[in-house]
């Protein structure tokens, strides 16, 4: 106690101002560097040079300042003023120099300095680390009960298109991980629509190597754009999910349930969906098959889909995280019914013909998949990774189609009716294992891998086709009728094994060398039976039957070197594949033996220019072996108007692809620039030749192109930043791409060149209580074909808008609309425009707003007629399909959560 | 290339570049919130010689909230300031400790470096007249926004051994702060005393013309200086055993 008392007394004495004046002082004049204006009331602080302890401070008076009563010693002067960068400099006072005069002290506005000075404590919303872009979820506001999808939409450079496909800086994201682990591996929508946005701490985007490259250790140049969703620590333990049910007009309904139980080591998740609105129940695989996207909500847009599916996921780690397992199972059934009609014009040198068809289609498909992964750290130097996948699919389909082709002068060329009834099954099984051993020397490791797979597909179909050919005068020339039963059985077995070896030559340089061998055997038995006399399909039609056996042996040798040091990393790789290929046909005495040497060079360079900017360059080359379909097509008559013929003399083509990516992001202002682009060309390209005979039958064949190289290029530039007052984010982007490709039409070479210009402006703002976005852009396409006098230039524009806002008493309202316009051109004599608008209104209940009642109107103006049109210099196609049109649906959604409460836990 | 980028960035940076004559607040009222981690404060009552308090501590954990929040206001002009707590509900005597309460009304005469503190404890009132408290401040680079003002962090040492973290804004050129915190080149809008489990943060800064009459030193209580005050506290704490030091800090802070 006495000590405290004494100290207190000392403190008191210390504060008594000393009367003794001394002459140690510092002075100067504070001015703005740019305008040379004297800064009034700038804070001037003198600190001890050694420990930064505050000695004295004052404020400038019209720029001038003077601080007296200092002691001799070494000091640091700090001059600060709001919105200006801090000024700091050392100075010394001693008997020889008792007064230090700084003269003019120039201050620089922070906005001038851009980001040379980055304030430490402010959290940067985006970090660019190597080739990874990391977003801090806390910097983006989402509504209560929002999902990952709502968060992703706000990240600069991230877009989610109409079919739910996630696009980052112009590239499609094909994988989403949760905490670095697979979660319903191939279906990103099960992460984006299921995991809550408030559970996410960070979102990382990077390129992963392909599964094949990860297994073999051999670089194949394939990059998989991946998003890794990192959860916040306190949300890793808990129960959450969503139940949703809706009933609408015109017989539309949906029901959905998702439930998850997470703990730090274990994740369990189940889901089930049923519906016919095209918004639920379409798993990734269905979409890969039937549509362009992978998300729920897209099934290609044709027909009315009835979808039912369910799945479960489990992953767990144990034994100090040395062992981990990750499994998921999915099952889904999809029924679609559609009516469609198509009109297309086919341009021929000096002529054209028009074909039209009407059809109906019914399809049912049931599939199941199982993925399992087991990883084990055997000891501190060895890992074992194993993976298995099984997939089965069973379906049936019925289609009926009638069509006709008219010559350019309007005279009938042919008429056709076609019906198919079939069923099919497909089963596959894949298993891979990889063992990695790290050797004593740092960076040296060896890995061996082996894998195998088999597929079995079985289909049976009945084809009936009646085709009538007409002569130049439009009189019936001949008819051909097909009534066949076609069973097809095909099997593929594949085995592979290999090893790779990695070593560090120096601290910065590593090399990897590898070898892989694989053998695949494919048998394909396709038969066609005509109706025999006793009305049974027993009579083999050998012209349209085949029984192939295809044996493919490959040996792959690879070598790659990587350099990585500080700001620069670069690498080069080369691989050589020796492939032999043998095909035997049991029906005709046909044997084809081919050998190919395939080369695959690659190189990349990655340079971090500054904290905010990075540049990457990439090159990949590859030999493309012709497919066996192109070499020896299977004889088939399923479409008697389009026949394809193979060419056993085809040589491989070689393609080269160059790309660059330049990014700048300024964290303090949350703005940036993305420039990226690529250019690719193919030598010795395999091109098709379409020969149309007088009866309107197309025959397709292939050959290597000797004059000309097909090429493709793309340039993308995007700027984004915030408006000051309204604080919305603004994007300005321009995409220009072009391509040149070649084909033969009736044995004459045709060169088609296309350039597309697509400028676009987007604005958007997201807050917890409201959000809006608006986007407008146009596309202008210049396209010409050497064989045609008409050009296929197209002009159009597109616009979309959306808003959401909360209303008093927990009501909310929102709407979105998309408008598309294409002007008429030399091929189409009508403009095309379509406005699709959706709107919703509802009310949230409960304290956490986790019960929601909502009415939604889909396609309010009923303009989704299913009309599509497509044109190329060689012709155009217009089609109409059954689609989901205007309907209203009333739905109830319940979000449930229960996370471990940290309320009674001691906080520091 | 770099010039081009800077140009492009500037093109859509609409922020005004003429921020030269910044407006500085010279008088007004600041509302503060004092937050205490009661779990930690109640735990401190459980000492070697008062293990019986453990029962209360455990009961507190189960029944009471972790944080206690008290409000106060600081009225200031260029020369002086008055810190006034807002009366709050008492803590049950089982859990009570001086650090859980606001015992001071603080008048600071910033021109002359003097302060008048009306201190109330154990039903007694004192009027402490002495110099402003001297705090050793160490500047840092860290910044954060408090009540809309950008603040710079300084770490301080006071009463010889108590470590404090303060955030001051250079947009208010007055070297004051809540309670007896002062001495930085701008108004202190945030203070944390990590080892004592207490923080003060400004919730609202209102710029207003202040009638100098409203900033008057308190008058009630027995007049003492720092030294006499310390003696009085020590006398009152003689039979508090090993909890006395904790109570002393609570009463002095």
- Among A232, A256, A273, give the residue marking a domain's end: A232
| Residues of chain B scoring pLDDT < 70 | 1-21
- Is A535 at the interface with chain B, CB within 8 A? no
Average pLDDT (A420-447) is 90
Mean residue pLDDT across chain A? 82
Whether the per-residue pLDDT at A391 is higher than 50: the answer is yes
Looking at residues A273-282, what average pLDDT do you find?
A: 71
Q: Are residues A28 and A101 in the same domain?
A: yes
Instruction: Give the range of the structural domain holding residue A97, as residue numbers without chain letter.
Output: 13-113
Co-location of A145 and A226 in the same domain: yes
Q: What is the 3-state secondary structure (H, E, C) of chain B?
A: CHHHHHHHHHHCCCCCCCCCCCCCECCEEEEEEEEEEHHHHHHCCCCCCCHHHHHHHHHHHHHCCCEEEEEEEEEECCCEEEEEECCCCCCCCCCCCHHHCCCEEEEEECCCCEEEEEEEECCEEEEEEEECCCCEEEEEEEEEEECCEEEEEEEEEECCCEEEEEEEECCECCCCCCCCCCCCCCEEEEEEEHHHCEEEEEEEEEECCCCHHHCCCCCCCEEECHHHHHHHHHHHCHHHHHHHHHHHHHHHC
Predicted local confidence at residue A11, as pLDDT: 43
| Pairing state between β A25-32 and A64-67 | antiparallel
Q: What is the pLDDT of residue B84?
A: 92
Cβ count near A621 (within 10 Å): 17
Contact (Cβ atoms closer than 8 angstroms) between residue A430 and residue A453: yes
- A26 and A106: one domain? yes
Of B17, B21, B134, the CB nearest to A11: B134
Report how far residue A906's alpha carbon sits from residue A903's, in angstroms, rounded to the nearest whole number: 8
Torsion of CA A728, A735, A799, A722, to 10 degrees: 10
Q: Please report whether residue A533 resides in a domain.
A: no
Asked if A199 and A220 sit in the same domain, the reply is yes
Residue A786 has pLDDT above 50, yes or no: yes
Specify whether A53 is located in the same domain as A83: yes
What is the C-alpha R_g of chain B?
Answer: 21
pLDDT (tens digit per residue) in A57-104: 998 888 899 988 888 888 888 888 887 877 888 888 888 888 888 888
Q: Do A15 and B131 touch (CB under 8 A)?
A: yes
Contact B200, B193 (CB under 8 A): no
State pLDDT tens for residues A721-779. 877 677 788 889 999 999 998 988 888 888 888 999 999 998 888 777 888 889 999 99
Say if residue A149 is in the same domain as residue A196: yes
Residue B8 belongs to a domain:
no
Domain annotation covers residue B4: no
Tell me how close the Cα of A501 comes to any Cα of chain B, in angstroms: 41
Give the separation between CA A838 and CA A859, rounded to whole angstroms.
5
The distance of A228 to chain B (nearest Cα, Å) reads: 29
Residue ending a domain, choose from A113, A139, A165: A113
Same domain as A88, residue A54: yes
Min distance B211 CA to chain A CA atoms (Å): 24
Which CATH number covers residue A148? Answer: 2.170.130.10
pTM: 0.62
Q: Residue A12 above 60 pLDDT?
A: no
Q: Quickly count: other Cβ atoms within 10 Å of residue A1's Cβ.
A: 12
Q: Could you report the per-residue pLDDT of A835-850, keeping only the tens digit for each?
A: 999 999 999 888 778 8
Residue B93 placed within a domain? yes
In-domain check, residue A46: yes
Query: Is residue A102 in a domain?
Result: yes
Q: Do B17 and A111 touch (CB under 8 A)?
A: yes
According to the model, what pLDDT value does residue A298 have?
A: 36
- Same domain for A169 and A214? yes
Residue B252: which of A4, A6, A17, A2 has the closest Cα? A4
More confident residue, A590 or A637: A590
Mean pLDDT value of segment A503-520: 90
Using the predicted structure, report yes or no on whether residue A906 has a pLDDT greater than 50.
no
CA distance A198 to A850: 13
Does B9 contact A673 at a Cβ distance shorter than 8 Å? yes
Chain centre to alpha carbon of residue A247: 32
A130 and A224, same domain (yes or no): yes
B82: in domain: yes
A74 with A148, same domain: the answer is no
Helices and strands of chain A, counted as H and E runs: 7, 49
Please state whether beta strands A729-745 and A686-692 pair in parallel, antiparallel, or not at all (unpaired): parallel
Do A92 and A167 belong to one domain?
Answer: no
pLDDT given at position B16:
38
Q: Is the CB of residue A896 less than 8 Å from the CB of residue A852?
A: no
Residues A706-720 have a mean pLDDT of 90
- pLDDT, tens digit, for every residue of A179-209? 888 887 667 777 887 888 888 888 998 888 7
> In chain B, how many domains are there?
1
Rounded CA gap, B24 and B171, in Å?
A: 5
Higher pLDDT, A327 or A873: A327
Whether A542 is in a domain gets the answer: no
Size of interface A-B (CB pairs under 8 A): 131
Cβ neighbours of residue B181 under 8 Å, at least 6 residues apart?
A: B133, B135, B164, B166, B188, B191, B200
- Rounded mean pLDDT of A277-299? 43
- CB interface of A with B, residues 14-33, below 8 Å: 14-17, 32
Q: Phi/psi of residue A110, each to 5°?
A: -60, -40
CB B99 within 8 A of CB B129: no
**What pLDDT digit, counting tens, does each position of A100-158 carry?**
888 888 887 765 544 433 333 344 567 766 677 888 887 777 777 888 888 888 787 77
pLDDT computed for residue A669 by the predictor:
67
> Is A7 within 8 Å of B19 when comparing Cβ atoms?
no
Share of residues in chain A with pLDDT > 70 (%): 89
> Tell me, what's the pLDDT at A291?
32
Q: Which domain holds residue B199?
A: 24-245
Would you give the DSSP letter of residue A859? S
Enumerate residues 729 to 748 of chain A having a beta carbon within 8 A of any beta carbon in chain B: 730, 732
Q: Answer with the residue of higher pLDDT: A580 or A900.
A: A580
Provide the strand spans (E) within A767-903: 770-785, 794-806, 811-822, 832-845, 851-858, 867-872, 875-881, 887-899
Q: Is B173 on the interface with A (CB under 8 A)?
A: yes
Q: Could you give the number of structural domains in chain A?
A: 2
Is residue A495 a contact partner of residue A519, using CB atoms and an 8 Å limit?
A: yes
Q: Is A82 on the interface with B (CB under 8 A)?
A: yes
- Using left for φ > 0, alpha for ψ between -120 and 50, and beta otherwise, residue A838 falls in beta
Window 84-143 of B, Cβ < 8 Å to A: 113, 130-134, 136-143
Which of residues A185, A203, A232 is at a domain's end?
A232
Q: Per-residue pLDDT averaged across A848-857, rounded? A: 88
Average pLDDT over chain B, rounded to an integer: 83
Average pLDDT over residues A32-39: 82
Residues 562-621 of A with CB under 8 A from B: 613
Has residue A212 been placed in a domain? Answer: yes
* Length of chain B in terms of residues written: 253
- Smallest CA–CA distance from B160 into chain A, residue: A7
DSSP per-residue letters across A438-486: E-SSTT-EEEEEEEEEEEEEEEEEEEEEEEEEE-TTS-EEEEEEEEEEE
CB A500 within 8 A of CB A447: yes
Residue A811 touches partner B, C-beta closer than 8 Å: no
DSSP three-state, residue A735? strand
A11 backbone φψ class: left, alpha, beta (φ>0; ψ -120 to 50):
alpha
CATH number at residue B197: 2.50.20
3-state secondary structure of A303: coil
CA atoms within 13 A on the CB side of A137: 24
pLDDT higher than threshold 60 for residue A294: no
- Determine the distance from the C-alpha atom of residue A615 to the mean position of all C-alpha atoms in its chain, rounded to a whole number: 21
CATH number of the domain that A17 lies in?
2.60.40.10
Contact of A354 with A827, CB cutoff 8 Å: no
- Contacts of residue A514, defined as CB under 8 A and 6 or more positions apart, other chains included, come to A216, A217, A218, A498, A499, A500, A501, A556, A557, A558
Distance from CA of B239 to the nearest CA of A (A): 14
Query: How far apart are the CA of A607 and the nearest CA of chain B, in angstroms?
Result: 15
Instruction: Give pLDDT, residue B159.
Output: 81
Cβ separation A83–B22 shorter than 8 A: yes
Res A163: pLDDT: 62
Contact yes or no for B154 and A54 at CB 8 A: yes
Cα–Cα distance for residue pair A169/A207, rounded to 1 Å:
12
Tokens 């004046």 sit at which residue? A21
B240 vs A601, higher pLDDT = A601
- A323 domain residue, yes or no: no
Long-range contacts for B38-42 (Cβ within 8 Å, ≥24 apart)? B38/B64, B38/B65, B38/B66, B38/B67, B38/B68, B38/B91, B38/B95, B38/B100, B39/A906, B39/A907, B39/B66, B40/A906, B40/B197, B41/B97, B41/B99, B41/B100, B41/B197, B42/B95, B42/B97
CA distance A562 to A572: 7
Residue A712 lies in a domain: no
Percent of chain A with pLDDT over 90: 23
Decide if B216 is inside a domain: yes
Q: For residue A832, tell me if it sits in a domain.
A: no
Whether residue A204 is found in the same domain as residue A132? yes
Q: How far is CA B223 from CA A645, B109, B184, B232, in A?
A: 111, 17, 28, 12
Half-sphere exposure of A742 (CA within 13 A, CB side): 20
């Amino acid at each position: 106690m006495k000590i405290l008392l004494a100290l207190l007394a000392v403190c008191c004495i210390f504060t008594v101002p000393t009367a003794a004046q001394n002459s140690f002082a510092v002075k100067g004049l504070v001015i703005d560097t740019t305008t040379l204006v004297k800064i009034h009331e700038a804070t001037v602080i003198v600190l001890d040079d050694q420990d930064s302890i505050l000695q004295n401070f004052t404020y400038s008076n019209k720029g001038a300042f003077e601080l007296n009563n200092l002691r001799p010693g070494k000091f640091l002067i700090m001059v600060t003023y709001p919105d200006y960068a801090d000024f700091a400099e050392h100075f010394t006072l001693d008997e020889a120099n008792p007064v230090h005069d700084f003269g003019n002290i120039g201050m620089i506005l922070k906005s001038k300095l851009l980001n040379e000075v980055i304030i430490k404590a402010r959290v940067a919303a985006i970090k660019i680390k190597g080739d990874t872009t990391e977003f801090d979820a806390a910097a983006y506001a989402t509504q209560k009960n929002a999902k990952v999808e709502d968060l992703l939409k706000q990240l600069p450079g991230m877009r989610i298109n109409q079919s739910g496909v996630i696009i980052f800086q112009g590239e499609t994201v094909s994988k989403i991980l949760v905490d670095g682990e697979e979660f319903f591996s191939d279906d990103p929508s099960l992460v984006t629509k299921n995991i809550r946005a408030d559970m996410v701490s960070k979102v990382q985007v990077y390129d992963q190597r392909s599964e094949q490259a990860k297994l073999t250790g051999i670089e194949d140049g394939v990059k998989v754009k991946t998003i890794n969703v990192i959860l916040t620590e306190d949300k890793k333990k808990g129960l959450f999910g969503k139940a949703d049910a809706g009933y609408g007009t015109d017989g539309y309904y949906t029901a959905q349930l998702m439930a998850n139980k997470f703990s730090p080591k274990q994740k369990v998740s189940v889901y089930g969906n049923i519906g016919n609105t095209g918004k639920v129940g379409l798993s990734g695989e269905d979409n890969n098959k039937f549509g362009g996207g992978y998300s729920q909500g897209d099934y290609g847009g044709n027909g009315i889909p009835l979808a039912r599916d369910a799945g479960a996921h489990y992953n767990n780690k144990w034994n100090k995280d040395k062992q981990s397992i990750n499994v998921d199972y999915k099952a889904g059934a999809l029924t679609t019914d559609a009516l469609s009609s198509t009109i297309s014009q086919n341009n021929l040198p000096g002529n054209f013909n028009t074909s039209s068809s009407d059809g109906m289609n019914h399809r049912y498909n049931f599939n199941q998949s199982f993925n399992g992964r087991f990883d084990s750290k055997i000891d501190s130097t060895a890992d074992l990774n194993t993976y298995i996948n099984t997939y089965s699919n069973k379906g049936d389909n019925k289609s009926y189609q009638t069509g006709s082709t008219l010559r350019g002068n309007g005279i009938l060329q042919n008429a056709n009716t076609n019906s198919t009834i079939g069923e099919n099954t497909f089963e596959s099984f894949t298993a891979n294992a990889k063992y990695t051993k790290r050797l004593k020397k740092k960076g040296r490791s060896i890995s061996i891998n082996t894998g195998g797979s088999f597929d079995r597909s079985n289909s049976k179909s009945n084809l009936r086709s009646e085709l009538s050919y007409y002569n130049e005068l439009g009189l019936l020339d001949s008819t051909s009728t097909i009534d066949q039963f076609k069973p097809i059985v095909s099997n593929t077995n594949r085995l592979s094994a290999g090893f790779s070896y990695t070593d560090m030559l120096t601290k910065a340089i590593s090399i990897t060398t590898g070898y892989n061998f694989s053998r695949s055997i494919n048998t394909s038995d396709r038969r066609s039976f005509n109706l025999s006399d006793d009305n049974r399909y027993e009579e083999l039609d050998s012209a349209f039957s085949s029984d192939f056996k295809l044996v493919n042996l490959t040996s792959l040798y690879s070598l790659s070197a990587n350099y990585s040091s500080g700001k620069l990393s670069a690498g080069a790789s080369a691989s050589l594949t020796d492939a032999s290929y043998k095909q035997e046909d049991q029906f005709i005495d046909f044997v084809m033996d081919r050998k190919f040497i395939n080369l695959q060079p690659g190189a990349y360079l990655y340079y971090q220019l500054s904290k905010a900017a990075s540049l990457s360059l990439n090159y990949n080359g590859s030999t493309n072996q012709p497919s066996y379909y192109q070499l020896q097509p299977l004889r088939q008559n399923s479409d008697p108007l389009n026949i394809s013929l193979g060419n056993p003399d085809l040589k491989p083509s070689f393609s080269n692809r160059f790309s660059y990516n330049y990014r700048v992001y300024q964290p303090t202002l949350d703005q940036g620039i993305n420039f990226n682009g690529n250019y690719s060309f193919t030598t010795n390209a395999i091109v098709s030749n379409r020969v149309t005979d007088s009866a309107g039958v197309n025959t397709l064949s292939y050959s290597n192109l000797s004059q000309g190289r097909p090429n493709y290029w793309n340039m993308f530039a995007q700027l984004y930043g915030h408006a000051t007052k309204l604080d919305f984010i603004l994007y300005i982007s321009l995409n220009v791409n072009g391509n040149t490709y070649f084909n033969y039409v009736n044995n004459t070479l045709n060169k088609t060149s296309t350039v597309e210009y697509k400028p676009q402006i987007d604005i958007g703002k997201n807050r917890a209580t409201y959000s809006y976005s608006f986007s407008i852009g146009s596309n202008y396409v210049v396209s010409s074909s050497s064989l045609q006098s008409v050009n296929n230039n197209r002009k159009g524009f597109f616009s979309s808008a959306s808003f959401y806002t909360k209303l008093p008493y927990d009501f909310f309202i929102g709407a979105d609309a998309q408008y598309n316009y294409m002007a008429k051109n030399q091929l189409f004599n009508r403009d095309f425009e379509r406005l699709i608008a959706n709107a919703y209104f509802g009310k949230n209940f409960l304290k956490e707003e986790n019960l929601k009642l909502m009415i939604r109107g889909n396609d309010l103006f009923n303009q989704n007629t299913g009309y599509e049109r497509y044109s190329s210099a060689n012709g155009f196609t217009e089609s109409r399909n059954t689609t989901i049109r205007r309907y209203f649906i009333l739905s109830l959604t319940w979000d449930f959560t229960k996370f471990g409460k940290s309320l009674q836990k001691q906080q520091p | 290339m770099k010039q081009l980028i800077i140009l492009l960035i500037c093109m859509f940076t609409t922020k005004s570049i003429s921020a030269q004559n910044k407006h500085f607040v010279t008088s007004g009222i600041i509302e503060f919130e004092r937050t205490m981690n009661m779990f930690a404060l109640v735990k401190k009552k459980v000492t070697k010689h008062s293990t019986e308090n453990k029962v209360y501590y455990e009961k507190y954990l189960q029944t009471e909230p972790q944080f206690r929040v008290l409000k106060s206001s600081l009225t200031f002009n260029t020369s002086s300031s008055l810190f006034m707590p807002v009366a709050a509900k008492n803590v049950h005597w089982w859990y009570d400790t001086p650090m859980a309460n606001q015992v001071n009304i603080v008048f600071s005469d910033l021109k002359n470096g003097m302060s008048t503190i009306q201190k109330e404890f154990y039903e007694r009132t004192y009027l402490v007249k002495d110099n402003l408290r001297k705090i050793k401040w160490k500047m840092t680079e860290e910044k954060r926004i408090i009540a809309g003002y950008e603040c710079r962090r300084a770490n301080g040492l006071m009463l010889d051994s108590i470590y404090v973290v303060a955030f001051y804004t250079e947009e208010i050129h007055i070297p004051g702060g809540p309670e007896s915190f002062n001495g930085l080149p701008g108004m202190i809008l945030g203070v944390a005393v990590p080892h004592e489990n207490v923080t003060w943060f400004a919730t609202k800064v209102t710029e207003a013309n202040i009638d100098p009459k409203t900033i008057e030193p308190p008058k009630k209580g027995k007049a003492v200086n720092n030294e006499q005050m310390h003696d009085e506290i020590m006398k009152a704490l003689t039979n508090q055993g090993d909890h006395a030091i904790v109570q002393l800090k609570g009463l002095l802070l």
